[in-house]
Amino acid sequence: MAVTILQGNHADMTDAPAKRLSLPRVLAFSSLSIPLAGVGLPVGVYLAPLYAREVGLGLELTGLLFMLLRFWDIFTDPLMGYLVDRYRSPWGRVRHWVVLSVPILGLATFFVYMPDVGESPAYFVGWMILFYVGFTLLQTARSAWVPAIAVDYDDRSRFFQWAEIVSVLSMLFLLAIPVVLELAGFGVGRMGQVAVMGWVLLIALPISAFLACTFVRDEPVRGDKGNTEKFRLRPFIAALRNKYLGHILLLELLSGTAIAVTSANYLFVAEFVFGLSDGMSSLILMFFFVMAVCALPLWLKLAERTEKSFAFKAAALLSCSSFFIYYLAGQVGGFWPLFIGAFFNGAAFSAPMVLARSMTADVVEWQVSRTGENRSGIYYSLITSAYKVGSSLALGVGYLILGQWAGFHPNEDNSPEAIHGLLLVFCLLPGTLYLLAAFAASRYPFTRAMQQEVAKSLDPRGPEIMD
């Protein structure tokens, strides 16, 4: 028996002509990227150095705890995906999950972003577990929403493009906080900067949830027969055996690990290798994300003219090249050399993430056409898990390498050899991972022609515009 409060004829809903959402509604959906950016940027760039240095947990312990927490997420993410797929409400498939994530993520944000000096590892682990539960719930629900509201191969890229643009603009706002505080002469330090970011997240979270849930439709994916609501272990196994999804999981693992290594070490590299303050480091990051926004439409245009996998490969190769530039810039130091590296790295930053998620939506539709089951929640939770595996390895293993192999410790005086080791870790690991990702993308088998055949089998009438 279907586990849902939502009643009605699924066939009637899924057989209706596909309609493209208008831009205002796409932007309402994309507003969910604001709180997700309020999680992604601080966690990736600021929180690990904050707890390692200012709070006092130490480099190796902080990396170990982040790694264990991320591995815990690997098990909870598929559970969240199953819950999103199975339990529906009168609001639709995912709206209620978005609403539920607000108090969970909000409560945890207050304690995670505003710790006192000397907080214990238990404090960090406890609140971070709740924090990741709320974040995963929101992220999985948002991603599982896309296959039902985006109607074709390129429309999915449009949704993730606008979501990424809003995300990057939100990151720019967050990055402006350290710059403005430094220029205004407020000596709040990194603790105060992260606390302000936390308040921005707490304010944006309920507003964005309201906009998305009010102005964006929430209905089953075309071809969904309602079988999704029956619990079986088979969909999890089938998802992992899906050769297309397996390929995307590899791409996400490689690119996610590269991004996490870069993020976790950026502030250390900017301070110890290039000699910059937090304000100047944030200013370069702002430019980095401006480049990401400006370049993303070009990558998507390349994907439209070729294939998504080809555009992914090109972006990964540019990212790989940028770390060679970073290494050369590190021999000079200062603001402008780091700025030049960020120019090339930022230009390629957004494309792999956006394209991988758009490729996943294609695979979700292919799977629905074959089985009549919408497993988008499970599929996107596995994508999130792959990314988090990379993040856990980057923080756990990466910080261990920094401390034990390079001999770098942020609270101590570091030798030139230790600082050079920091630069090597920052450049060699991501550069190698992006090179492997480019090779993997060149072998991705799902094409535009295949997706068009799937779309015709589900709805031969084609897309329409919805005001």
CATH number at residue 313: 1.20.1250.20
Distances (CA, A) of 381 to 138, 215, 255, 342, 364: 11, 24, 17, 30, 12
Question: Minimal CA–CA distance to 150: which of 26, 281, 31, 322?
Answer: 26
pLDDT digits over 381-429, tens only?
Answer: 888 888 878 888 888 888 888 888 888 988 888 999 999 999 999 999 9
The domain total for the chain is 1
Length of the chain as a residue count: 467
pLDDT beyond 70 at 275: yes
pLDDT at 16: 45
Q: Which residues are 465's β-sheet partners?
A: 20
pLDDT at 74: 75
pLDDT at 5: 37
In a domain, 456, yes or no: no
With tokens 């690119």, the residue in question is 255
pLDDT at 226: 56
* Residues 153-172, mean pLDDT to the nearest whole number: 84
- pLDDT over 90 for what percent of the chain? 46
Range of the domain at 400: 20-215+226-447
Distances (CA, A) of 130 to 55, 145, 361: 20, 23, 28
pLDDT at 105: 96
Tokens of 140: 């999985």
Q: How confident is the model at residue 125 (pLDDT cuts 50, 70, 90)?
A: very high
Tokens of 82: 């199953």
- Top-confidence residue, 137 or 388: 137
Least confident of 48-52, 312-316, 321-325, 437-441: 48-52
Distances (CA, A) of 266 to 114, 272, 360: 21, 10, 29
pLDDT beyond 70 at 463: no
pLDDT beyond 70 at 459: no
* Residues 354-368, mean pLDDT to the nearest whole number: 89
The whole-chain average pLDDT of the chain stands at 85
pLDDT beyond 80 at 272: yes
pLDDT beyond 50 at 7: no
pLDDT at 390: 84
In a domain, 459, yes or no: no
In a domain, 14, yes or no: no
Q: How confident is the model at residue 462 (pLDDT cuts 50, 70, 90)?
A: very low
In a domain, 454, yes or no: no
pLDDT beyond 70 at 2: no
The Cα 293–Cα 48 span in angstroms is 25
CB neighbour list of residue 413: distance below 8 Å, 6 or more residues apart: none
pTM, full prediction:
0.77
pLDDT beyond 50 at 40: yes
pLDDT beyond 90 at 161: no
pLDDT at 98: 95
Tokens of 135: 């974040």
* Residues 16-40, mean pLDDT to the nearest whole number: 84
Least confident of 9-23, 73-87, 290-304: 9-23
pLDDT digits over 312-344, tens only?
Answer: 999 999 999 999 999 999 999 999 999 999 999
In a domain, 11, yes or no: no
Q: How confident is the model at residue 371 (pLDDT cuts 50, 70, 90)?
A: confident
| Phi, psi (rounded to 5 degrees) for 89 | -145, 175
In a domain, 68, yes or no: yes
In a domain, 310, yes or no: yes
pLDDT beyond 70 at 225: no
* Residues 27-33, mean pLDDT to the nearest whole number: 94
- Top-confidence residue, 127 or 37: 127
Least confident of 101-105, 148-152, 270-274, 336-340: 148-152
pLDDT at 446: 92
In a domain, 465, yes or no: no
The Cα 265–Cα 336 span in angstroms is 19
